[in-house]
Chains A and B, each alone.
Chain A
Amino acid sequence: KAGVTQTPRYLIKTRGQQVTLSCSPISGHRSVSWYQQTPGQGLQFLFEYFSETQRNKGNFPGRFSGRQFSNSRSEMNVSTLELGDSALYLCASSPGQGNEKLFFGSGTQLSVL
């Protein structure tokens, strides 16, 4: 089975711009979660989508949004970028039916200048 695929791998943007990141989950997985990793904060939960609906949400401002398509692929959007948004954004998928482990992609490294 192919793993979780995230594109692009690297991204450089300037303050005020917006960005869209993409995630393709493992085939058959219906849950996609997004995490932000920064050096001092570790991994922080952004949101989870299951069957095209946001099922859980972390404590991030409304500038961070996402969506999930009928094929379970997910996109995450950040608007009005700030310097502090520079981070590794990780996507994880799981079947979504219970207490199963998450499978992570390699992430998108976003740099905001």
Chain B
Amino acid sequence: DQQVKQNSPSLSVQEGRISILNCDYTNSMFDYFLWYKKYPAEGPTFLISISSIKDKNEDGRFTVFLNKSAKHLSLHIVPSQPGDSAVYFCAASDFRSGTASKLTFGTGTRLQVTL
């Protein structure tokens, strides 16, 4: 049972345009959401997070939106750069239960930013 779903395995975007990566979840107990970026042969690196008490969080070119009623979150990258080409993982946790380190990950979306 995939509790966190990233339905688009891949996405191609032109440099300078907006990249939108989507993620859906089914577990209503999730209250903290994160995005990680992964390059080949490296571990995932933290990108941005959002708590369920917010609906938007911004950090430079990266913005995460959370729609709790739809159990949906999205990551916007504006403007997209070639160095953003990587696999992006959405992750969720149930922080209130004390399992902040037990992240449930989606299967990832491979973003390719073309020139």
Q: Residues of A with Cβ closer than 8 Å to B?
A: 4, 31, 33, 35, 40-45, 48, 55-56, 58, 90, 92, 94, 96, 98-107
Contacts and interface: CB of A to CB of B under 8 A. Distances in A.
Interface residues of B, number: 25
B45 interface: yes
Contacts of A105: 43
Interface of B: 32, 34, 36, 41-46, 49, 51, 89, 91, 93, 95, 99-108
Contacts, number: 59
Contacts of A94: 101
14 contacts: A31-B101, A33-B102, A33-B103, A40-B107, A42-B106, A42-B107, A43-B44, A43-B89, A43-B105, A45-B103, A58-B102, A92-B43, A102-B46, A102-B103
Contacts of B43: 4, 90, 92, 104-107
A42 B45 contact: no
Contacts of B95: 99
Contacts of A56: 99, 101-102
